[in-house]
Amino acid sequence: MDYLTDGSEYEVESIPEQLPVLYADEHLVAVYKPAGLLVHRSPIDGEKSRFAMQIVRDQLGHYVYPVHRLDKPTSGVLLLARSSSVASLMMPMFASGQVNKYYEAIVRGFICQRQVLDYALKNEDNPQAEPKSAITEYWPERFAELPVATGRYPTSRYSWLKICPKTGRRHQIRRHMHHISHPIIGDTTHGDGRHNRLFRSQEWPGLWLLAKKLMFTHPVNQRDVVIELDYPQRWMRVQQELFERYPVMM
């Protein structure tokens, strides 16, 4: 099996010939980006020939422009501009927090209350630089306890979280969850290898981080825009096989 640079499998989801369109107007288009697909060409995957921007360009028949980041192992809503001028309007909105981003994740252990973490993060490419403010709000949706031992514990506990990052630092959610000792399952850079292996053994591979929803004011027509994704098949499967089969009520 092929692997990503962070250890996640390429084949977590198949890459279709066309990406599902979640929203489209004359200025913007949002698609579902499956796990394992880069947004655009990158040195980390120079040998690969297919990228989200290329796929969307081919299916729409014109160039598109990225306005925010979505890591390769992360699946979810990817917003693209249809022109460079609209991209230049949208990118500052993401940078300044004018776009509300909602993620969902499966993490190790039980998180029982809504919390806000304000913990500055260093630049991963320049550790000597001053850390920058990073704020993440998160709250639990459901819990599960798998009757399989992990390390010295007889069972394995998991929380399904909803997460709203208030800032946009690189790998912010993954690094913040690691900081509070509730790493995201499938994160081989900031996660727990024992739980990652357990999920793979149950045939639930990949990074369990989903970009679920975007909310913002349209930069051209000033209308409120809400783009929300239905759960992908792999998320529905883990919900049924883990969270509905081994639920814990809090």
Q: Which of 2, 6, 45, 71 is catalytic?
A: 71
Closest residue by Cα to residue 244 from 130, 143, 156:
143
Closest residue by Cα to residue 213 from 32, 14, 6:
32
Complete DSSP assignment for 59-112: HHTS--EE-S---TT-EEEEEEESSHHHHHHHHHHHHTT-SEEEEEEEEES---
Q: What is the largest CA-CA distance in the chain?
A: 57
Closest residue by Cα to residue 211 from 249, 184, 188:
184
Contact call for residues 156 and 149 (beta carbons, < 8 A):
yes
Catalytic annotation present for 58: no
Catalytic residue annotation: 71
